[in-house]
Amino acid sequence: MKQGEIWFVEFDGQGHEYQKRCPAVIIESDKQLKITSVITVLPFTSQQKKHKDDIFVAKSDSNKLFFDSVIKVYQIQTFDEVRFKNKIGELESEIMEKIRQYLQVHFGL
């Protein structure tokens, strides 16, 4: 596993959290991934309704998403690697840069 990969992840949330298997992009650094068994992700949705900061992603040969999708940037979650079922594809570098920029604002870095 590495940063920027898209995986099907088993979410098991409550309330407004995701509660099903859905694609998510790994946002944790490759360095951190080597020293921990939990992985931080952002989920995708195929619903085109988006909040101001959510990031649109068009399906492509690289990301292998089934539909044009939206990354739900407010739904940052960390899971044990047992919840990761199978790799789908890899996110384009320009989208990863948008995620990095958003995370700086989100965490005030």
Half-sphere exposure of 65 (CA within 13 A, CB side): 24
The 10 Å Cβ neighbour count of residue 100 is 12
* Segment 16-46, tens digit of pLDDT: 445 577 999 999 999 999 999 899 999 998 8
* pLDDT computed for residue 16 by the predictor: 47
- Is residue 51 very low, low, confident or very high in pLDDT (cuts 50, 70, 90)? confident
User: Stretch 55-82: mean pLDDT, rounded?
Assistant: 94
* pLDDT computed for residue 18 by the predictor: 56
Domains contained in the chain, CATH given:
5-107 (2.30.30.110)
* Segment 69-107, tens digit of pLDDT: 999 999 899 999 999 999 999 999 999 999 999 999 988
Is 49 a residue whose pLDDT tops 80? Answer: no
| Alpha carbons 50 and 68: distance in angstroms, whole number | 12
- The CA–CA distances, whole Å, from 73 to 3, 24, 34, 64, 101 equal 15, 11, 24, 20, 11
